Amino acid sequence: MNGDRQGDPEIVAEDLVKRFGSFIAVDRVSFSVARGEVLGFLGPNGAGKSTIIRILCGLLRPTAGRALVAGIDVARDPERVRERIGYMSQKFSLYRDLSVEENLKFFGGIYRVPRHDLPERMRFAIDMAGLAGREKALVSTLAGGWQQRLALGCAVLHRPPILFLDEPTSGVEPTSRRRFWDLIHSLAAEGVSVLVSTHYMDEAEYCHRAALINQGRLIAIGSPEELKRTALRGELLLLECETLGPTLAAVEHAPGILDCSVFGSALHVLVADANQSLRDLPVHLEQKNLPLVRLRRIHPSLEDVFVQLIAIDSAKRRVAA
């Protein structure tokens, strides 16, 4: 999967800063994306993901720092960058009063796709979006998943080596989301570099690398495995119990506990030493008369990692402020 990623990175962000008045939307963010790599941007809504993507597309001017896309400084020559990128904005931005085919033709014209290639490229985009037979349908009549896939089709019509996808799967049903990620990976396999943002934490697993953004700052970046291994400074236990509330309160104040959060009908408990806690916790709860159903060690999901990292980061900021 990582085999053909080589050469100079296609996207480079160096200490990017974006201020809107006194609000710091992006705070010294640096990262890079290699050729054929899928980098996922994760983080809560309003974390600054869209702002970073817009800076890289040349839609916003960074307050400080440098953005290089395809080796070109975006602030200096945005037009040359625009010929080499495809962009899907967070808000759906195809023409709803135009048909599938008319939208594709429009973007084919705007990107000056060679005329003799256009029919074949349009065919590819239509097939990719699963819209064969609905070429004449107005976009406003399509369901969300189809609209998003068509938007991706329009974004790749001119075969850009770099793709920026801003929350392409938001509002899309789960099966369509899965399909969307398959499309992204087939493009990456052909060498396209993809920067994709999402607020679905589970989608990080589909990325080669994931970057976690919180309140304008990049707080972790790495492959899903790396993140799981290193980001949590502790080990994770799953605790099933009968009374969630009182148990949570009790566990939080037990010795050796770093953090505790509700996860479905159980608790995820982050501890400094798993073996120690596996012995001590049942005793601690027994003393408080809180029955324990099950306690075992688990491997953290990326969601655990992110919830944890965001909680730690937000706490640090509160202390700093």
Task: Kindly list the residues in this chain that would bind other proteins in the complex (CB under 8 A).
Answer: 20, 54, 57-61, 78-79, 82-83, 85, 87-89, 91-98, 102, 105-112
Q: Which residue has the tokens 């953004």?
A: 213
**Cα 289 to Cα 91, 235, 238, distances in angstroms:** 52, 25, 19
279: left (phi over 0), alpha (psi -120 to 50) or beta: alpha
Rounded Cα gap, residues 224 and 218, in angstroms: 15
Nearer to other proteins, 93 or 275 (CB): 93
Nearer to other proteins, 9 or 78 (CB): 78
Question: Which residues face 294 on adjacent strands?
Answer: 240
Nearer to other proteins, 95 or 124 (CB): 95
Q: Which of 194, 195, 151 is nearest to 172 (CA)?
A: 151
Nearest distance from residue 89's CB to other proteins, in Å? 5
Contacts made by residues 111-116, CB under 8 angstroms, sequence distance 24+: 111/83, 111/157, 111/158, 112/158, 113/157, 113/158
29's enclosing H/E stretch is strand 23-33
Nearest distance from residue 52's CB to other proteins, in Å? 13
Nearer to other proteins, 24 or 98 (CB): 98
Buried b (16+ CB within 10 A) or exposed e, 61-88: ebeebebbbbebebbeebeebbebbbbb
Nearer to other proteins, 92 or 263 (CB): 92
Nearer to other proteins, 83 or 190 (CB): 83
Written as one letter, the residue type at 23 is F
Nearest distance from residue 102's CB to other proteins, in Å? 6
Nearest distance from residue 51's CB to other proteins, in Å? 10
Nearest distance from residue 151's CB to other proteins, in Å? 8
What values do phi and psi take at 250, rounded to 5? Answer: -70, -45
Nearest distance from residue 106's CB to other proteins, in Å? 5
